[in-house]
Structure 1
């Protein structure tokens, strides 16, 4: 696709994950930086009725939700090699663990941070069961593979890796050896470093402007 990529984000948001994905693609894109508050609640709602970032416009295509954006971009730009072949074993793991991170992992980590701990009886009603069970499942998979789909970095690693990296940084994820080893394999990728530098510079600029 040759349509323009427009990325709506805030450097202190989950948009940091999408920034990393865009840098991995190596395709030109335009970033629109939105402040929290009215900037996200006004006209922007035409793109995302939730009034949240990030969002991606690719020509006439609008995509929200970080996992969806990452997988969309991998398919839209196959030359980047960030998506496994369709109907392959790797593709199954690619979908499975991306949406595991978007569903059970994020819910378990968020609830724990908010002090919401399901009782034994309540666990069957929540998709993640328990925080410990969720982390055990992810740890088991990452301990057996260098990357989400095996030996090859994909868009799934941008998404899952971002959750692991943030969790380790902010203490919402237990420091298990498999998590630390996995993040160590990802954090110094040139695209990941560039993305962090861009967003960190935007944060620093905003702070200087507010001073």
Structure 2
């Protein structure tokens, strides 16, 4: 098996699971719960202890943008990334960079306030400030989805599951539908995708059938890391 994908429930690694289904190329999954990611075994896969990660052949690929590009470029005829050298390709790279370094990062102070302040009494104010920053990112994406079904100039790409995997976190914090209707519309569209439904079921460890038939089962971490 040439593709082994490492994911954690509720993480942005949902994006690669969706892309794998869209590609339809045989793959296996390795579930890595958050508490395990800091351990020595998973750090053989990714020294940063983060998901997603990908094993292809004898090598590992980490960082979501790199993983998504690797997957999409295995089958360029699927059209999940624009041609190299095109204006849309530049836009794709800009969005990948933004989603990783802007949109995602805005959530950090909310989810892991302890990384930023030592005084637990300050956590509520840190989280309150984080929500303001998260809303600014939602507003930026909402504006760019105006009149578009998909994020990349109305064309489906690897950006859409990446955005959805993180924008779903906003549902815990505020009313996405009333404040950012274009983002909510994008969420609803993605949730109608069989590949997304399958990935969400996989995260919940629920029995589900791979829409593409490409999923070949789970591998335990000890085996996957070697």
Q: TM-score range by the shorter chain?
A: 0.7 to 0.9
Q: Which residue of 2 aligns with 1:60?
A: 58
Aligned residues: 191
1:171 matched to 2:169? The reply is no
Q: Distance in 1 between matches of 2:163 and 2:37?
A: 29
Q: TM-score, normalised by structure 2?
A: 0.72
Residues 77 and 60 (structure 1), Cα distance of their counterparts in 2 relative to 1, 3 Å cut: farther
1:134 matched to 2:137? The reply is yes
Deviation for aligned residue 1:37: 3.7
Residues 117 and 54 (structure 1), Cα distance of their counterparts in 2 relative to 1, 3 Å cut: closer
Q: Is the 8 A contact 1:16 1:196 kept in 2?
A: yes
1:194 matched to 2:204? The reply is no
Q: Is the 8 A contact 2:54 2:67 kept in 1?
A: yes
Q: Which residue of 1 aligns with 2:126?
A: 116
Q: Is the 8 A contact 1:56 1:63 kept in 2?
A: yes
The alignment yields a C-alpha RMSD, in angstroms, of 2.8
Q: Is the 8 A contact 1:187 1:193 kept in 2?
A: yes
Residues 188 and 48 (structure 1), Cα distance of their counterparts in 2 relative to 1, 3 Å cut: same
Deviation for aligned residue 1:40: 4.9
Q: Which residue of 1 aligns with 2:216?
A: none
Q: Which residue of 2 aligns with 1:126?
A: none
Q: Distance in 1 between matches of 2:107 and 2:42?
A: 28
Residues 167 and 39 (structure 1), Cα distance of their counterparts in 2 relative to 1, 3 Å cut: closer
Q: Larger deviation: 131-140 or 184-193?
A: 131-140
Q: Is the 8 A contact 1:7 1:31 kept in 2?
A: yes
Residues 202 and 54 (structure 1), Cα distance of their counterparts in 2 relative to 1, 3 Å cut: farther
Residues 173 and 23 (structure 1), Cα distance of their counterparts in 2 relative to 1, 3 Å cut: farther
Please give the per-residue CA displacement for 1:51-110, whole angstroms capped at 9, x wherever unaligned: 233310111332112232112211122232211122222222212222211111122233
Residues 131 and 151 (structure 1), Cα distance of their counterparts in 2 relative to 1, 3 Å cut: closer
Kindly indicate whether structure 1 or structure 2 has the higher relative contact order, using CA contacts under 8 Å at least 6 residues apart: 2
Where do 1:1-211 residues align within 5 Å?
Answer: 4-37=2-35, 40-112=38-110, 114=113, 115-116=125-126, 130-168=133-171, 170-171=172-173, 174-175=176-177, 176-201=180-205
Q: Is the 8 A contact 2:13 2:165 kept in 1?
A: no
Gaps of 5+ in 1: 120-128, 204-211
Q: Is the 8 A contact 1:98 1:160 kept in 2?
A: no
